[in-house]
A = this chain, B = another copy of it.
Amino acid sequence: MAGPACAGSVPGDGHPYDADTAVVAGGEHRFTATISDRWNGLTGRPLGGFNVAVCLRALMHELPFPDPLAVSSFFLRPVMPGPAELVTEVARRGRRMATGEVRLKQDDLERVRVVATFADLGSVAHPRIFGARPDLPPPELAVDVLGGETRPGATITDRIECRMAGVPGWRTGRPGGTPDVSLWMRFREGRDADTLALPILVDAAAPAVFEIGETGSTTLELTVHVRARPAPGWLACRVTTRCVASGYHEEDFEVWDSAGRLVAQSRQLALLTGA
């Protein structure tokens, strides 16, 4: 099912983000991709949010708007590095928005289902914000969450840099007790995030429940609402969990850009998986 690459004129085609989310058209509403092992989370498997970005990259070839606005993803089965097939479907093409669905399959088995509405967020004027940006020292005074190291197996730590006001409690075996964490994030290797990258970022920090002693979490469902195109530079993020019940927990994630705008809000429902 080889076909022309669909990357288009994306700036920075050589960056791992651009290269690894690329899809290849392979027939009507069908695309192929190679799921990279460069975006693995703590589980050692590709991060859910990364798989979503690949799905959105396929869908944006079907929909006439450039920015994901509302994205809901259900993680049905584990995704493994290697070949994947993406089947797309358009639900509605409107004047201002368009909605479609993507199913990511490996070995003919559906792994991830994404429904997304795209729009044009090119001119977000005068947002009204109720609430404050995360309280963080400037990035140059913040500390690297992993102390400058990366985490073997969790290759996402080679791709994304996280800085906090101090070393998080869970890193030193003393969880702080409150699942409410603020951090700076950005891609390593010199690329700024665009709206398609936001589903990766909101899923790429250590889960907030690490601060209440949990050690693992698997996403079941992730909804991302993109509110504006991020300005270049560091992104100020806040991760919070309010309720852990029956082994499930939700996690909220806010992303604010260097211009002080709230650019993404996400919530995921996840299952605790630690020992």
CB distance from A131 to the nearest CB of B (A): 4
A217–B15 Cα distance when bound, in Å, is 40
Minimum CB–CB distance from A254 to chain B (whole Å) comes to 8
* Size category of the binding interface on chain A: 35 or more
Say whether B130 contacts A178, CB under 8 Å. Answer: yes
Assembly CA distance A240 to B70 (angstroms): 18
A19 within 8 A of B: no
Bound state CA distance, A129 and B179, in angstroms? Answer: 10
Q: How far is the CA of A91 from the CA of B110 in the complex (A)?
A: 8
Q: Decide if A130 touches B243 in the complex (CB within 8 Å).
A: yes
CB distance from A146 to the nearest CB of B (A): 25
Least distance between A130 CB and chain B CB atoms (Å):
5
Q: Are B117 and A221 in contact (CB under 8 A)?
A: yes
Tell me the bound Cα distance from A97 to B121 in angstroms.
36
* Residue in B closest to A180 when the chains form the complex, CB atoms: B130
A245 within 8 A of B: yes
How far apart are the CA atoms of A269 and B72 in the complex, in Å?
12
Given contacts A130-B180, A227-B250, A243-B265, list 19 more A-B pairs with CB under 8 A. Answer: A69-B220, A69-B269, A70-B220, A74-B99, A74-B117, A76-B92, A91-B110, A99-B113, A113-B115, A127-B245, A128-B212, A128-B244, A130-B241, A130-B243, A221-B223, A225-B267, A228-B246, A242-B265, A265-B267
Interface residues of A (CB under 8 A from B): 69-70, 72, 74, 76-77, 91-92, 97, 99, 101, 110, 113, 115, 117, 121, 123-125, 127-131, 178-180, 212, 220-221, 223, 225, 227-228, 240-246, 248, 250, 261-262, 265, 267, 269
**CB-defined A-B contacts under 8 Å, sample of 8:** A70-B74, A72-B72, A72-B115, A72-B223, A221-B225, A227-B248, A242-B262, A243-B262
